[in-house]
Structure 1
Amino acid sequence: MTPTPPPAPAPSEPADSELLKLDHQVCFSLQAASRAFGGVYREALRDLGLTYPQYLAMMVLWEHGSLPVKTIGERLHLDSGTLSPLLKRLESAGLVRRERSPQDERSVTVHLTDAGSELRGRALSVPRTILRATGLSVQEILALQETLGRLTASLGKAG
């Protein structure tokens, strides 16, 4: 019976002089991954005629139905200055309809049109296309999402 080797030592924290190296920056790794995702999504969404931010807005509407602009912004972590032009483009494309509340002029609700609802069927292949492109298993993706969720929450508290 061969004895079990001792566990590998935990990686030591880099020296201060090492911390300024690009390869040690988590933010840079996330930015590079985000850019790579952007390229894959651009290709996957081309036939749908959507940009990645528009796709995210449509996913929120496909999941929840009609929603106030404010709620969509909260779900996507977007301010109204970014979200309003995006929704205008979706409306111009005939995918959504925006409607002011008669009770509160400041509140606008976004509704899917028939074309917007039908687009969901064509979008069903996108998540699996992206999953395949990552080269990761479903379990690895779920673990990564959980880690990124904790990271986002921590950074939100720190900021």
Structure 2
Amino acid sequence: MDNQNLKLENQICFKIYTAEREITKLYRDLLEDLDVTYPQYLVLLVLWEKNSITVKELGQKLFLDSGTLTPMLKRMEGNRLLERKRSLEDERSVIISLTKKGEELKQKAECIPSQLLQNLSTDYEELKNLDHTLTTILQRIQKVKEN
């Protein structure tokens, strides 16, 4: 009996996984001038929106645990992109904020989203639809995890 459900080409998770890996490779080339990795770029995106955030909040936004975040944040601090300080209100909490160097990278990064779109040979509407679908899937996954 030929079970179509178990064919690799019918696995949406495999297509998402493969697309993510290939998009990350495209980002690697685009981020070369900034001298940051893709996960570091994600941290910068959050900090460019909100200059100061706790490690816990950052982890929630990026769906990363502190064991993954802490070594990356230490490297970014070593590269003078951000600084980490203990909160005055709660010593258990660490606050991340951009340095001047980290803020200056924002201007260099402004072209990255449009360059990625160009590299993907896709238009804004197609990407907007994909964004909506993936956001819906992520929200459903979060609900399942909460139950």
Under TM normalisation by the shorter chain, which class is it? over 0.9
Is residue 54 from structure 1 mapped to residue 15 from structure 2 by the alignment?
no
* 1:38-117 matched pairs, under 5 angstroms: 38-117=24-103
Separation in structure 1 between the aligned mates of residue 59 and residue 100 of structure 2, nearest angstrom: 22
After TM superposition, the score normalised by the length of structure 2 is 0.94
Query: Which position in structure 1 is the counterpart of 2:10?
Result: 24
Query: Which position in structure 1 is the counterpart of 2:130?
Result: 144
Q: Deviations over 1:10-43 (max 9, x none)?
A: xxxxx98100000000000001101110110000
Is residue 35 from structure 1 mapped to residue 21 from structure 2 by the alignment?
yes
Separation in structure 1 between the aligned mates of residue 83 and residue 136 of structure 2, nearest angstrom: 35
After TM superposition, the score normalised by the length of structure 1 is 0.87
1:158 deviates by 3.0
Report the count of equivalent residues: 145
% of aligned pairs identical? 43
Is residue 131 from structure 1 mapped to residue 140 from structure 2 by the alignment?
no
Unaligned runs of 5+ in 2: none
Separation in structure 2 between the aligned mates of residue 20 and residue 116 of structure 1, nearest angstrom: 46
Q: Max radius of gyration: which structure?
A: 1
